[in-house]
Amino acid sequence: MRLDRNLAVLGTLWLPGAAAWGSLGHITVAYIATDLVNDRTSAYFQDLLRNSTEHYLAGVATWADSIRYTKWGRFSKDFHFIDAKDDPPAYCGVDFARDCKAEGCIVSAIQNYTTQLLLVPPPGADANAETAAEAGSVLPAWRRAQAAKFVVHFVGDIHQPLHVENVAQGGNGIHVRWESTELNLHHVWDSSIAEKLLGGVGRRPYEAARRWADDLTEQIREGRYAAPSRLWTNGISLDDPVAAAMSWANESNALVCTHVFPEGPTAIAGQELSGDYYEKAAPVIELQVAKAGYRLAAWLDLIADRVSSSAGATQAPGEL
């Protein structure tokens, strides 16, 4: 679905500040999903998030990062990743029982907040009734809106390979060079490669993300991703969010062995990555952002369809 844009107003009136995956990747994922969800899904989440513009997902895409280090949001800090205790490049793989912390991880978070989004009141009921909330059968709208913000963010995070890897805290402890500046490897995969791919972003990540999303949406609809994208949502089901999230996590984690440090974490330390390494990594990052946006759209469509069915709607589910 494509709505009228006013990015100038968007940037000055209500969008939160962002440093630039990094925010650029998350916002792009959100815009792709906005382009691909069906009309019923769009209407449902615009109402839930109280934003009737096309920026209803992009505007909350980085919210989970903005609260993770606050006193209130500290509980969510472990939800952005799962520490795969594998041995790249000899072996890559994520095991939910082995790798998800007792405090939670990105896989359990996607399951939890997806489930929360489905706890809707029956037609005509008070969504904020304390008795229903105490019974655990429904959640008030503000809680479901919060859950939606987490889902939008975490579906993006799980497609970044270093959010599903334990080595050096997901690459944060591996120092490399990027255009002669010392950075950590996680930052390079979060932001640097994507920003260079777009020719620089500066202080306008939302405009850059919108342009990138336009291109990737076109590639999904009728370009180089048109054929492969038909397989990107195979087997996903709201009946087993852990299985869906684990399939995405293992797919991302495999890239740690093939592209993140194919010669091992020690070999990449101190290396300049803005040349040949960038040329190999950039197409992978672009593909992962496209997959994340496509899958987020499909996931939100499933949620909206389930909610509509619970409310007694008779409209057939929409298609991507």
* Active-site residue flag, 159: no
Cβ neighbours for 39, distance < 8 A, ≥ 6 positions apart: 1, 318
Q: Given 35, 86, 99, 157, which residue is catalytic?
A: 157
* Active-site residue flag, 157: yes
Question: Using CA atoms, how far apart are residues 202 and 84, in angstroms rounded to an integer?
Answer: 33
First to last CA, the chain: 10
Tokens of 277: 């390494």
Q: Given 21, 178, 232, 299, which residue is catalytic?
A: 21
Q: Given 68, 143, 177, 224, which residue is catalytic?
A: 68
Q: Given 159, 163, 210, 295, which residue is catalytic?
A: 163
* Active-site residue flag, 65: yes
Q: Given 40, 55, 80, 144, which residue is catalytic?
A: 80
Q: Given 40, 55, 144, 153, which residue is catalytic?
A: 153
Q: Given 65, 78, 83, 99, which residue is catalytic?
A: 65
CA 312 from centre of chain? 30
CA contacts within 13 A on the Cβ side of 249:
30
Q: Given 35, 190, 301, 305, which residue is catalytic?
A: 190
Peptide bond into 89 cis (omega under 30): yes
Question: Using CA atoms, how far apart are residues 231 and 238, in angstroms rounded to an integer?
Answer: 17
* Active-site residue flag, 276: no
Rg of the chain on CA atoms, in Å? 19
Q: Given 40, 159, 186, 295, which residue is catalytic?
A: 186
* Active-site residue flag, 21: yes
* Active-site residue flag, 186: yes
* Active-site residue flag, 26: yes
- Catalytic residue numbers read 21, 26, 65, 68, 80, 153, 157, 163, 186, 190
